[in-house]
């Protein structure tokens, strides 16, 4: 192994450490607690080393969002892949999405609430974000209904899930009715 390869591997390892530490700190104490100074202290590197990987918190949030998008897509595909039939797939998708949001609130915020410097719904949208949307479209496209553009239907269904996730987490919706909300969403929006 060359010196250059070793340095690249070490750099990639430091970058993963920074992102993992930011996620951990954000999940424990919220994104306001994630500062470059605190991250540098936790990873035991100087702030200049941290800045050699990311220009600031915004880019760190973006890195967490990309990683989280990959995880969200995997969770949705795992849940829908095991389901039998369109209705079961859409219901599994809704549960997987809402479970991901509940289990990973800081990551969810990095993807959908915070400015990570990432473009959504553009040509230059990062592949991880496109893939997360594609994971939703794979199951929702088949239940969009005649004459309905599958991508638009997926956006509306996704927006509904996002609203449920956000409002439930904020305590605006009682958690005991979560299952009924999913059933209502699937029954009223999906043509199954």
Write the secondary structure of 96-164 as one string of H (helix), E (strand) and C (coil). Answer: HHHHHHHHCHHHHHHHHCCCCCCCCCCCCCCHHHHHHHHHHHHHHHHHCCCCCCHHHHHHHHHHHHHHH
Q: Which residues of the chain have pLDDT under 50?
A: none
Q: What is the pLDDT of residue 1?
A: 74
Q: What is the pLDDT of residue 73?
A: 98
Report DSSP letters for 35-97, one per residue: -HHHHHHHHTS-HHHHHHH-SSHHHHHHHHHHHHHHHHHHHHHHHHHT--SHHHHHHHHHHHH
Share of the chain above pLDDT 90, in %: 93
Eight-class DSSP state of 32: G
Q: What is the pLDDT of residue 190?
A: 84
Q: CA-to-CA distance for 133 and 112, rounded, in angstroms?
A: 12
pTM surpassing 0.95? no
Tokens matching residue 40 = 């540098």
pLDDT digits (tens, 9 = 90+) for 128-150: 999 999 999 999 999 999 999 99
Tokens matching residue 92 = 């599994």
Share of the chain above pLDDT 70, in %: 100
Q: What is the pLDDT of residue 121?
A: 87
Closest among 191, 1, 185, 188 to 93, alpha carbons compared: 185
């Amino acid at each position: 192994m060359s010196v250059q390869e070793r340095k690249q591997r070490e750099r990639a390892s430091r970058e993963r450490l920074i992102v993992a530490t930011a996620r951990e700190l954000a999940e424990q104490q919220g994104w306001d607690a994630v500062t470059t100074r605190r991250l540098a202290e936790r990873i035991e590197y100087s702030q200049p080393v941290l800045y050699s990987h990311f220009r600031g918190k915004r880019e760190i949030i973006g890195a967490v969002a990309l990683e989280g998008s990959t995880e969200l897509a995997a969770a949705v595909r795992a849940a829908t892949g095991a389901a039998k039939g369109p209705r079961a797939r859409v219901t599994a998708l809704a549960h997987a999405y809402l479970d991901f949001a509940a289990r990973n609130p800081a990551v969810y915020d990095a993807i959908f609430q915070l400015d990570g410097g990432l473009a959504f719904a553009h040509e230059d949208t990062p592949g991880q974000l496109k893939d997360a949307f594609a994971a939703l479209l794979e199951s929702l496209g088949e239940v969009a209904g005649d004459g309905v553009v599958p991508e638009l239907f997926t956006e509306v269904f996704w927006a509904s899930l996002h609203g449920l996730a956000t409002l439930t987490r904020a305590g605006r919706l009682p958690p005991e009715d979560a299952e009924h909300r999913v059933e209502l969403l699937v029954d009223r929006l999906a043509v199954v």
